[in-house]
Structure 1
Amino acid sequence: MRRLERLFVALNGAVVIAMLSSMALIVGANVALRYTTNHSLPWADEAARYLMIWMTFVGAGLALRWGGHVAITNLHDVLSTRSQQILRVVIVLILLIFFAFMVHVGLQYMDRARFQKTPAMRLSFLYVYAAMPVGFSLLIVHLLLIVGPFIRAGQYKQEEGDVNAISGAANG
């Protein structure tokens, strides 16, 4: 199971890196063409924008896994150990409900936008809006994979198996 999890995380990270690399290449090529030939790629800005949207949603699960999202720990820090665990259970349940709701909303957006086309690339907006349910589904998977250590000890998993305390991840 740990091997499958490491493969999942590595694949997720590789997809984010590929999107960032593609975005940088497209924007770089467009800038180079603009200054060397006085012409630019009409679809470059649009492609970079949609890659950034996809990269944000696909990468959000990785940020969650490593405690990279903003955290306010004032209440958590003043509670007893048992109360902290209860608070973390409540937080996980709220997050799971919210993520599932956002998958549902994302699917609705996809359905509504499927007949609209992007201006330059003429892609269906379905593909742009698909980032939302895909990203929130990945958030659910990542949350479920780290839920045990998070609830027990307030820790996030690291790729190498290292673990950072919630306060260390939030403060440093």
Structure 2
Amino acid sequence: MSFAQPLLTLLQRTERGLDAIIQPAVFACMAALIGVITLQIVSRVLFTAVGWTEELARFLLVWLTFLGATLAFQRGRHIAVTFLVDALPARLRKLARFVALSVVLALMIALIVIGYRYMQVQSFQKSASLRISMTYVYAVMPFCTAIMAWYTLVDLLETLVHGKPDTPQEPQP
């Protein structure tokens, strides 16, 4: 499968590029969330409460959760019970990994469709305080799920080419 190696290298670079975009976005969401909650607390204690802070904090938390889950997924940090698969012979372990990744990919595709439909259903609705379209709030689900599906495709190709994907590692500073 030497023809697959250049494709795999390109996909891995794309994966690292996505990671380089998502990681600062998670940091920015966290910083904004801290700032908004601080403003909310200070305004309640010292002045009249700023009405939009609670809604913005909620929306930031939703985006932060999905973006953070995407980073955790890419790094292999989600909970996994592998003792049974680890006990299998190498060929069966590879097959089990391939089947598991295929199931994950199917789930991600289903979540993309469900998230997109839900986003469309809610597109007419505006948020109470900020008056922004709820499409922007709900867009995070199909967006992040599509990225996780991409990561799964890369893992599937790595499994086919190498037998197992490279061990997820933290990006080097």
Q: TM-score range by the shorter chain?
A: 0.7 to 0.9
Counterpart CA distance in 1 for 2:63 and 2:147 is 12
* Residue 156, structure 1, aligned to residue 167, structure 2: yes
Task: Report how many residues are paired.
Answer: 160
Alignment correspondent of 2:46:
36
Specify whether residues 108 and 72 from structure 1 end up closer, same or farther in structure 2 by C-alpha distance, changes over 3 A only.
Answer: same
Deviation at 1:142, TM superposition (A): 2.2
Specify whether residues 156 and 46 from structure 1 end up closer, same or farther in structure 2 by C-alpha distance, changes over 3 A only.
Answer: farther
Alignment counterpart, residue 16 of structure 1, candidates 13, 20, 26? 26
Deviation at 1:90, TM superposition (A): 0.5
* Residue 26, structure 1, aligned to residue 36, structure 2: yes
Counterpart CA distance in 2 for 1:93 and 1:85 is 12
- Which 10-residue stretch deviates more, 55-64 or 41-50? 55-64
Contact 2:72–2:78 (8 Å) recurs in 1: yes
Counterpart CA distance in 1 for 2:115 and 2:154 is 22
* Residue 125, structure 1, aligned to residue 134, structure 2: yes
Matches for 1:1-172 after TM superposition, within 5 Å: 1=10, 3-37=13-47, 39-149=48-158, 152-153=163-164, 155-160=166-171
Give, as a single letter, the amino acid of the residue that structure 1 aligns with 2:110. F
Specify whether residues 6 and 154 from structure 1 end up closer, same or farther in structure 2 by C-alpha distance, changes over 3 A only.
Answer: closer
Contact 1:50–1:128 (8 Å) recurs in 2: yes
TM-score by length of 1: 0.83
Deviation at 1:5, TM superposition (A): 3.6
RMSD of aligned C-alpha atoms?
A: 2.0
Specify whether residues 17 and 145 from structure 1 end up closer, same or farther in structure 2 by C-alpha distance, changes over 3 A only.
Answer: farther
TM-score by length of 2: 0.83
Deviation at 1:155, TM superposition (A): 4.7
Q: Gapped runs of 5+ residues in structure 2? A: 1-9
Percent identical pairs in the alignment equals 29
Secondary structure of 1:157 counterpart: coil
Q: Gapped runs of 5+ residues in structure 1? A: 162-172
Specify whether residues 157 and 114 from structure 1 end up closer, same or farther in structure 2 by C-alpha distance, changes over 3 A only.
Answer: same
Per-residue CA deviations over 1:26-69 (Å, capped at 9, x if unaligned) read 001111122222x2211111111111111121222210121110
Contact 1:118–1:125 (8 Å) recurs in 2: yes
Deviation at 1:146, TM superposition (A): 3.6
Q: Runs in 1 of length 4+ with deviation above 3 angstroms? A: 1-5, 145-151, 153-156
Counterpart CA distance in 1 for 2:138 and 2:120 is 9
Alignment correspondent of 1:169:
none
